[in-house]
Amino acid sequence: MSQRRGFCKLWRRLLWLLVLLPALAGAQQELEIISLRHRPLDQVLPALQPLLEAGGTLSGMGDQLFLRASRANREQIRQALAAIDTPARRLLIRVSQDRQAVSREQGGGISGQVVFDRHGRIVQPAAGNNGGTRFEVRRGDSVLVGEAGDWRGSGSSGSTQVVQVIDGGRALIHVGQSLPVPLRQLVFGRHGAVLSEAVVYRDLGQGFYAQPRVVGERVTLEISPQADLLRSRGDGISDTQRLTTTVSGRLGEWIELGGSNQQADFARHGNLHGAVGQASERRSVWLQVEELR
């Protein structure tokens, strides 16, 4: 009887062992090497690390992942990797930078000459404005010219830069020219002062740096547009515009990144002429990101 009971206990233990073997095999941590197809390690590892079980390890080199975990955890990580390791989306970034300027000037003056005799005369030069209302009075060799006017001017300029980049990548584009600038330095040494002459190059133009990240149909973009343009007056001074921001919007829509408004009043006077006016300038920067199918 006792032998029969002992046999039954042994049989139950064997049954329990058969039941537990698959679970023990599943819990055993083994090393698995997984090859990446599309995404780099620095994008994949941070997303998979939170899924790793206690005691497991996850590392990588080149385009391969080294995963040591239980069978169930390895399967979970493989499923997550399949959703992450997909071809990067191709994006087209457009940045438009616009400038609009308006000016208005009102003034008048008197110019001409008054002749006393062949030995003496008084001359008043013209102020230099053209296009106003003008009247003229002459008597002999003497002439007086009066002019009054309301002068208006406007101008606009703009540029658009386009660059292609993948989701999560970095892009830099700059279009312009390198302007040679003479540089003179007076160097003092043991034997006196020496004049040193050289030529340095100053980069002028427009462009931007950008890094986009897409989730669904929305894009978040770190962007820094910049513009350095030489003034048309020929004085060697350039107008500079810089902007650094992070924006978010839908793919395909235009997003206003920022801008500036400037307004100034001015006046100028001479002996017999004068003018007052206003000038304003508006700058704006717009962005569009499209997906290339």
Q: Are residues 231 and 191 in the same domain?
A: yes
Query: For residues 71 and 30, is the Cβ–Cβ distance under 8 A?
Result: yes
Residue 7 covered by a domain: no
74 token code pair: 């390895």
Q: Are residues 223 and 132 in the same domain?
A: no
Q: Are residues 100 and 240 in the same domain?
A: yes
Angle at 97 between CA 94 and CA 98, to 5 degrees: 135
- d(CA 140, CA 119) in angstroms, rounded, equals 15
Q: Are residues 53 and 112 in the same domain?
A: no
Is the entire prediction scored with pTM above 0.85? no
Residue 11 covered by a domain: no
Give the residue among 155, 260, 171, 272 at the shortest CA–CA distance from 212: 171
Q: What is the CATH number of the domain that holds 54?
A: 3.30.1370.120
- d(CA 144, CA 129) in angstroms, rounded, equals 16
The tally of domains found in the chain comes to 3
- d(CA 209, CA 250) in angstroms, rounded, equals 20
Q: Are residues 205 and 114 in the same domain?
A: no
Q: Are residues 114 and 217 in the same domain?
A: no
The amino acid at residue 198 is A
Q: Are residues 228 and 95 in the same domain?
A: yes
- d(CA 146, CA 132) in angstroms, rounded, equals 10
Where do runs of H (alpha helix) occur along the chain? Answer: 2-27, 41-48, 71-84
- d(CA 233, CA 168) in angstroms, rounded, equals 42
Q: Are residues 190 and 97 in the same domain?
A: yes
Angle at 92 between CA 87 and CA 98, to 5 degrees: 160
The HSE-up count of residue 17 (CA atoms within 13 Å, CB side) is: 6
Q: Are residues 136 and 165 in the same domain?
A: no
Residue 253 covered by a domain: yes
Q: Are residues 157 and 146 in the same domain?
A: no
- Each residue's pLDDT, cut to its tens digit, for the chain (293 residues) gives 555 565 566 666 666 655 554 554 445 778 899 999 988 898 899 999 999 999 899 998 989 999 999 999 999 999 999 998 988 889 999 988 887 877 777 766 666 565 555 555 545 555 555 555 666 666 666 666 666 666 677 777 777 888 899 988 888 888 777 778 788 888 887 778 888 888 888 778 878 888 999 988 999 999 888 878 776 655 567 777 788 889 999 999 998 887 777 777 767 766 656 677 777 888 888 889 999 98
Give residue 176's domain range: 90-104+152-292
Q: Are residues 142 and 207 in the same domain?
A: no
Query: For residues 124 and 113, is the Cβ–Cβ distance under 8 A?
Result: yes
91 token code pair: 């994006």
Residue 6 covered by a domain: no
Residue 254 covered by a domain: yes
